[in-house]
Chains A and B, each alone.
Chain A
Amino acid sequence: MAKHHQIDALIVGAGGAGLMAALHCSRQIKNTAVISKLYPTRSHTGTAQGGIAAPLGNMEEDRWEWYMYDTVKGGDYLVDQDAAEILAKESIGAVIELEHMGLPFDRTRDGKIEQRRFGGHTRNEGEAPVMRSCKAADRTGHMILQTLYQQCIKQNVRFFDEFQVIDLMVEDNVCRGVVAVEILTGELHVFHAKAVLLAIGGFGRVWSVTSNAHSLTGDGVAIALRRGVPLEDMEFFQFHPTGIYKMGILLSEALRGEGAIFTNDTGERFMARYAPTMKDLASRDVCSRCIYLEVREGRGIGGKDYVYIDARPETINTYQSGPGGKTVTAEHLEAALPDVFEMARVYLGVEPLKQGIPIQPTAHYAMGGVPTDNDGRVLADAQGTLVRGLYAAGECACVSVHGANRLGTNSLVDLVVFGRRGGKAMADFCTRADFAPPPAHPEAETVAQINRIRNGTGKEKPARIRSEMQKVMMDHVGVFREGPAIQNALDTIRELKERYQNISIEDKGQRFNTDLYEAWELGCLLDLAEVTAYAALDRTESRGAHWREDFPKRDDAHWLKHTFVTRRNGSLEATYKPVVITRFEPKERTY
C-alpha cells in the first residue's frame, strides 16, 4: 500500500531552481515541500563554476539592455525576447538577494561584488568583452546551492530526500500531484498536491562525453512527455568547448574570462581567425564548432581529436588576452581558478601554469525542455494553453531565454530568476486553488513500471543499452549533424527502446535498490534521446547549437520558431510556436 500525503505546493528537485522556488513559495504557503532523488547539496547546480551574470556595473559601465542583446544574440535569435528582458532586468535583484542571503561573492577593493568577463557577454552590443559575471572564485554554483540550502534550513522548508519521482498525476490538463518511491525502503508514496513545480535539471547522460552528473537523466522531463506535455526545442543541446579530454569533466569558461586561449597543434590561437572581435570569448556553440573544424583540418594536438586550452601566464601576457589586456600572474590565476586548476592536476596530471590542458567539447546543457510562460506555468500546446497546477523552472524548463544556445552564466541567472518567479506564481495559485481530486488509481502506472523492471527476465543489460545510446547520440546528434546520420541515430534509439523491453536487473530487493532506479532512469534517457533526434531531423537549418551540415545556413523565413514535440500513442509529432521578438530584429551573428 502506498503512503499518502497532501501537500499544497510540491517542488520536484532540490538544485538552484527548486530551492529558490521553495524559499519563495514557502513564505506564503506553509505546506510546501521539496522532493529530491539526491540530498539537496548533491544537486548539479553545485558544479557550476564561473559565475552568475548581472549588469551591476561594479567594474565598468554596463546596462541591462546590453545584457539582453547578448542573450538574444547568443541564442541565435530563437530567444523569446520578453523573457530575455525579464532575465536581464531581474538578474540584478537576484544577485543582490543571493548576497543578502549570505553568498560569499568575491569583492572589489571598495567592498562591492567583483565581476569578470565571460563568453558572449559584451559592452554596447558586441563592441568588446564586458565584466558582468559575479562569482565566488570558480565555485559559484557550489556557493549558490549551499546558500539556498542554508536558507531553506533557516526557513524550515520540508524535504523528502532520496525519493525517486516516477509519475506525474495529470488528467484533463490538470496536475494533481506526483507518485514517488522512497529509495531507502522501496515504499510507494502518493503526493496529492495543488501545484507541482518540476526543477529536475538536465539530461546530459544521453551523450557519452558529458559534463553532467550520472544522476542527470531528465526524469521529470520524460515523465511530462509520457503524460502528454509537449517538449520544446529539444534539438538544441549545448556542447561546452572545454571538457577534459576523454572524461568530459567541465573546465569553466572562467578560464577564458581570465585570459586563457585555445591553441591547436601548430600553437596558433585559432579563434582569432574565426571570431576576430571576441576571439576565445565567442559563444560556446561557435567555439565548439571551431575546435571540431581544427581537428578535421588535421590541426588537433598530434593530429588527434583534441586541442589545448592554454592558461599559462606567459601565454596570456604575450597575447594580452587577460581582462582589459592587463598583465596576469600565476598567483592571481591560482586564486581565481583553484578548482579548475585542481581538476587539471588530479584528472589529467597536467600542470596548467606550465602546460596546455587537453580539451574537447562535452555535452553540457539542455536549452530545450518543458515549455513554460514567464511565470513557470507549463504549456500544454504551442497555442499557449496551460496545464493547470503544473510549473517548471531551471534547466528542465524552456522559457525560452536560451534559444538555440545558452550564454555562459545564464543557467545560474535562469534558475534564480525563474525559480523565484515560478515559486511565487505557484504560491499565488495555491492561495486561490483547491485540491483537484486525484486519479482513481494514482499509483497503478508506477507499480506497473517498477514491476516490469524488477520482474524482467530478458537478456539485455541496461548498462550496455545505455552505452550504445550514448555512443550513437555522440556520433550523430552532437556538434555537427546531417540528415542521414540523425536518421540512423533515431532508428538505433528506437531499436534500443525495443531491446529495453527485455532488460533484467540483479537486485530484486526493496532497500536502496539503485540497480532498479538506474534501469528506470535509462528509460527516461531513451525517451529524451528519441525526441532530441526527432527534433534535430525535423529542423532543416543551422542555428546556435543545432548545426546541420546539409543545411548550413540559418533560415529565418522558415525556422524562426520553436519546436514543440508531443507523443501520442507512442508516436511523435511536431508543432511550432512563433518566437517573441520585441527589441532586436534577427541579424547575422558574428563574434
Chain B
Amino acid sequence: MKRPSSFVVPFKAGDALMRVHLKIQRFDPEKDAKPYWSEHDIEVEKTDQVLDALHQVKWYHDGTLTLRRSCAHGICGSDAMRINGRNALACKVLIKDVGQKITVQPLLGLPIIKDLVVDMEPFFAKYRSVKPYLINTDDPGERERLQSPEDRARYDDTTKCILCAACTTACPAFWANDEYVGPAAIVQSHRFIFDSRDQIAPERLDIMADTMGVWRCRTAFNCVEACPRGIDVTRAISEVKQAVMTGKAR
C-alpha cells in the first residue's frame, strides 16, 4: 500500500495571502532611552493569527522582537497585548478581522520589561490579595461535597478566567489609580463568594469593600470588551457590589 498523500500543510498555503503592515511598539531598557516603533511589511494568510504575524517577524526578520506566548489557542493567557488599540490575545485575533494595518503595543499600566513583555508581578499580587482559593474547614468525608447544578451555575462564568490581565489593563479606573485591585481580582473574588462550598464570604466581601476594592469600578465596560474568555466582567462586579451592600452573597 502507498502512504497517503502528505498531511503536511506548507508554512503558507498560498491561496489567501495578504500583505499587512505591522507597527510594533519596541523598548529594550538595556539599550533604548524610550519606546519607538518598528514597522514590517509581511505576507500572511487571512486566517492566520496576529501571533503568526508576530512570529514571522521574530523568526525571519528580527529575532530581537520579544513577546510571551505559549498555547496559541486562547487558553494559556500569555499573549495578551494591545492590538489596534484594544486588548486581546494575539492568538485569538485573526488577520482578516483586524485588516491590513496592525498596530501592536504592550498592555497599558504595567511596567514594560521588553517590547511586548510587561511585568505581571503587580497583577498577580492583586490576584493573591483576594485569597483566591476555596476555604471550607468542615471535614468533607470520603466522597465529593454535594453541590446542586443551580449552585454550580451561580459562579460558572467567573471560573473561565485565565489571568491574562486584558481586563485590568483596559480599565480606566486602574489606569487612574494602580492601587485599585482591578476587574480580574474581582472576578476571582466573585468565583469564591458565590461558590456554595466556600465559608468565608463575609471576609471576602470585606476585602471587596476596601477603598481600593469594588467601588473603584465606574462601569466603563472596557473589561467586558477586552475579556478573551467572554466573561461578563461588569456583571460579576455589579453582583459583588450588590453582595457588599446587602452583606449577603447567596
Interface set of A (CB-CB < 8 Å, partner B): 38-39, 41-44, 46-47, 95-96, 99-102, 104-113, 136-137, 139, 142-143, 146, 150-151, 153-154, 184, 208-209, 213-215, 246-247, 249-250, 292-293, 295-296, 305, 339, 342-343, 346-347, 349, 360-361, 461-463, 467, 471, 474-475, 478-480, 482, 485, 505-507, 509-515, 549
Are A209 and B8 in contact (CB-based, < 8 A)? yes
Which residues from chain B contact A295 at a C-beta distance below 8 Å? 4-5, 7
Are B70 and A44 in contact (CB-based, < 8 A)? yes
A305 to B117 Cα, complex, angstroms: 38
A95 to B132 Cα, complex, angstroms: 20
Which residues from chain A contact B47 at a C-beta distance below 8 Å? 347, 349
> What 4 A-B pairs are tightest by C-beta distance, nearest first?
A102-B134, A111-B146, A506-B63, A463-B59
A34 to B68 Cα, complex, angstroms: 20
Are B133 and A102 in contact (CB-based, < 8 A)? yes
> What distance in Å separates the Cβ of A507 from its nearest Cβ neighbour in chain B?
4
Are A100 and B140 in contact (CB-based, < 8 A)? yes
- Contact code string B44-72 (vs A, CB < 8 Å = 1, else 0): 00010000000000111011101111111
Given contacts A509-B30, A514-B67, contact A99 B145 (CB under 8 A): yes
Interface residues of B in 83-141 (CB under 8 A from A): 92, 94, 113-114, 117, 120, 124, 128, 131-134, 136, 140
Chain B, residue nearest A470 (CB): B8
Which among A99, A150, A467 is the interface contact of B144 at CB below 8 angstroms? A99
Are A215 and B70 in contact (CB-based, < 8 A)? yes
Q: Does B74 contact A (CB under 8 A)?
A: yes
Are A153 and B11 in contact (CB-based, < 8 A)? no
Are B195 and A102 in contact (CB-based, < 8 A)? yes
Q: Does B38 contact A (CB under 8 A)?
A: no
> What distance in Å separates the Cβ of A312 from its nearest Cβ neighbour in chain B?
22
A99 to B147 Cα, complex, angstroms: 11
Which residues from chain B contact A347 at a C-beta distance below 8 Å? 47, 73, 94
B134, B146, B195: residue with the most chain A Cβ atoms closer than 10 Å: B134
Which residues from chain B contact A102 at a C-beta distance below 8 Å? 133-134, 136, 192, 195, 197-198
Which residues from chain A contact B94 at a C-beta distance below 8 Å? 346-347
Given contacts A46-B162, A305-B5, contact A507 B64 (CB under 8 A): yes
Chain B, residue nearest A346 (CB): B92
> What distance in Å separates the Cβ of A284 from its nearest Cβ neighbour in chain B?
16
Are A463 and B60 in contact (CB-based, < 8 A)? yes
A164 to B23 Cα, complex, angstroms: 30
Which residues from chain A contact B195 at a C-beta distance below 8 Å? 102, 104
* Extra pairs beyond A38-B78, A482-B3 (10, CB < 8 Å): A107-B146, A108-B149, A109-B149, A137-B156, A142-B160, A213-B70, A296-B4, A346-B94, A360-B7, A509-B30
> What distance in Å separates the Cβ of B2 from its nearest Cβ neighbour in chain A?
7
Chain B, residue nearest A155 (CB): B133
> What distance in Å separates the Cβ of B164 from its nearest Cβ neighbour in chain A?
9
Given contacts A38-B78, A154-B133, contact A474 B7 (CB under 8 A): yes
Are A96 and B117 in contact (CB-based, < 8 A)? no
Given contacts A209-B9, A512-B117, contact A111 B147 (CB under 8 A): yes
Are B59 and A461 in contact (CB-based, < 8 A)? yes
Are B3 and A246 in contact (CB-based, < 8 A)? no
Are B76 and A46 in contact (CB-based, < 8 A)? yes
> What distance in Å separates the Cβ of A104 from its nearest Cβ neighbour in chain B?
5
Given contacts A99-B144, A104-B195, A154-B133, contact A47 B1 (CB under 8 A): no
Are A549 and B3 in contact (CB-based, < 8 A)? yes
Q: Does B152 contact A (CB under 8 A)?
A: yes
Chain B, residue nearest A150 (CB): B133
Are B144 and A96 in contact (CB-based, < 8 A)? yes
A383 to B159 Cα, complex, angstroms: 46
Are B133 and A208 in contact (CB-based, < 8 A)? no
Are A39 and B120 in contact (CB-based, < 8 A)? yes
> What distance in Å separates the Cβ of B246 from its nearest Cβ neighbour in chain A?
24
A447 to B19 Cα, complex, angstroms: 41
Are B75 and A47 in contact (CB-based, < 8 A)? yes
Which among B59, B67, B146 is the interface contact of A112 at CB below 8 angstroms? B146
Are A507 and B152 in contact (CB-based, < 8 A)? no
Chain B, residue nearest A104 (CB): B159
Given contacts A153-B132, A475-B6, contact A505 B152 (CB under 8 A): no
Q: Does B221 contact A (CB under 8 A)?
A: no
Which residues from chain A contact B30 at a C-beta distance below 8 Å? 509-511
B8, B64, B142: residue with the most chain A Cβ atoms closer than 10 Å: B8
* Sample of 21 A–B contacts (CB below 8 Å): A39-B120, A42-B77, A44-B70, A44-B76, A46-B75, A99-B140, A99-B145, A100-B144, A102-B197, A102-B198, A104-B152, A142-B162, A150-B132, A154-B131, A208-B9, A213-B72, A296-B5, A305-B6, A346-B92, A461-B59, A512-B114
A250 to B72 Cα, complex, angstroms: 11
> What distance in Å separates the Cβ of A140 from its nearest Cβ neighbour in chain B?
11
Are B140 and A46 in contact (CB-based, < 8 A)? no
Which residues from chain B contact A361 at a C-beta distance below 8 Å? 7
A227 to B5 Cα, complex, angstroms: 39
Which residues from chain B contact A471 at a C-beta distance below 8 Å? 8
Are B144 and A478 in contact (CB-based, < 8 A)? no
Which residues from chain B contact A215 at a C-beta distance below 8 Å? 70
Which residues from chain B contact A100 at a C-beta distance below 8 Å? 140, 144-145
Which residues from chain A contact B11 at a C-beta distance below 8 Å? 467
Which residues from chain B contact A349 at a C-beta distance below 8 Å? 47
Which residues from chain A contact B156 at a C-beta distance below 8 Å? 104, 137
> What distance in Å separates the Cβ of B194 from its nearest Cβ neighbour in chain A?
11
Are A41 and B162 in contact (CB-based, < 8 A)? yes
Q: Does B215 contact A (CB under 8 A)?
A: no
Are A143 and B9 in contact (CB-based, < 8 A)? no
Which residues from chain A contact B142 at a C-beta distance below 8 Å? 96
Q: Does B28 contact A (CB under 8 A)?
A: yes
Which residues from chain B contact A39 at a C-beta distance below 8 Å? 78, 120, 124
Are B134 and A107 in contact (CB-based, < 8 A)? no
Which residues from chain A contact B64 at a C-beta distance below 8 Å? 506-507, 509, 515
Chain B, residue nearest A361 (CB): B7
Are B144 and A113 in contact (CB-based, < 8 A)? yes
Chain B, residue nearest A479 (CB): B7
Are B160 and A246 in contact (CB-based, < 8 A)? no
Which residues from chain B contact A467 at a C-beta distance below 8 Å? 11
A398 to B73 Cα, complex, angstroms: 27
> What distance in Å separates the Cβ of A85 from its nearest Cβ neighbour in chain B?
20
A445 to B213 Cα, complex, angstroms: 49
> What distance in Å separates the Cβ of B188 from its nearest Cβ neighbour in chain A?
9
A97 to B43 Cα, complex, angstroms: 50
Are A509 and B31 in contact (CB-based, < 8 A)? yes
Given contacts A46-B76, A511-B30, contact A213 B71 (CB under 8 A): yes
Which among A101, A343, A507 is the interface contact of B73 at CB below 8 angstroms? A343
Chain A, residue nearest B49 (CB): A347
Q: Does B163 contact A (CB under 8 A)?
A: yes
A118 to B127 Cα, complex, angstroms: 35
Are B152 and A509 in contact (CB-based, < 8 A)? no
Interface residues of B in 184-231 (CB under 8 A from A): 192, 195, 197-198, 230
> What distance in Å separates the Cβ of A515 from its nearest Cβ neighbour in chain B?
4
Are A208 and B8 in contact (CB-based, < 8 A)? yes
> What distance in Å separates the Cβ of A365 from its nearest Cβ neighbour in chain B?
15
Given contacts A150-B133, A153-B128, A482-B3, contact A474 B8 (CB under 8 A): yes
Chain A, residue nearest B161 (CB): A146
Which residues from chain A contact B159 at a C-beta distance below 8 Å? 104, 136, 139, 143, 146
